[in-house]
A and B are shown apart, each in its own frame.
Chain A
Amino acid sequence: AQSVTQLDSQVPVFEEAPVELRCNYSSSVSVYLFWYVQYPNQGLQLLLKYLSGSTLVKGINGFEAEFNKSQTSFHLRKPSVHISDTAEYFCAVSERSSASKIIFGSGTRLSIRP
């Protein structure tokens, strides 16, 4: 079984500052990794995903994440945040098999201060 741990429930940062949202996973099999964003009162939008290949994955809105197998981490980063990045961010994992469920972390609320 897989599990996902998001170490920070809330991350406050100033506008234009860099940010890192941490994610660690646990699994006995190979996995795919995802980051989703949920803006207030909206659904889930895919930011980026790691399936294979390069460990540095670039997503939408200037976000990127790096897969680190030895540390079982998939941290999300952005070099300069904007007010519009205020949202809940979810790290997620699924097994490398078709029709597999996706397991979510508990979420990190990113709040941007002007």
Chain B
Amino acid sequence: DTAVSQTPKYLVTQMGNDKSIKCEQNLGHDTMYWYKQDSKKFLKIMFSYNNKELIINETVPNRFSPKSPDKAHLNLHINSLELGDSAVYFCASSQNYGYTFGSGTRLTVV
């Protein structure tokens, strides 16, 4: 049973394309997040949703649009992909200060 699952695990795409990454958690957590890990392993928060409501929106280009259809899902859509978007994207969920991370989606823009 995967607690936080992301799909796809790997994504290779050309510049200018639009792509989506999906995330689902089966922990019953109220809060979900998207983090970006760059090539130097630095992890930075992008968005957070609590019960389908956006509560954190860091300085992220508006080409990135999160969507939460219900509290178990938080998807990330990226428009007009750029080379600099290449990174590993991690989904996470939390409840009562316990954070659980997905295994990551490695996005490569060529």
Contact = CB atoms under 8 A, between A and B. Distances in A.
Interface of A: 32, 34, 36, 38, 42-46, 49, 51, 88, 90, 94, 98-99, 101-104, 106-107, 109
**Chain B interface main SS type:** strand
Interface residues of B, number: 26
Contacts, number: 55
Contacts of A109: 41
B42 A43 contact: no
A32 B98 CA distance: 10
Contacts of A45: 101
Interface string B6-35: 000000000000000000000000110101
Given A98-B96, A102-B99, A90 B30 contact: no
A46 B45 contact: no
Contacts of B86: none
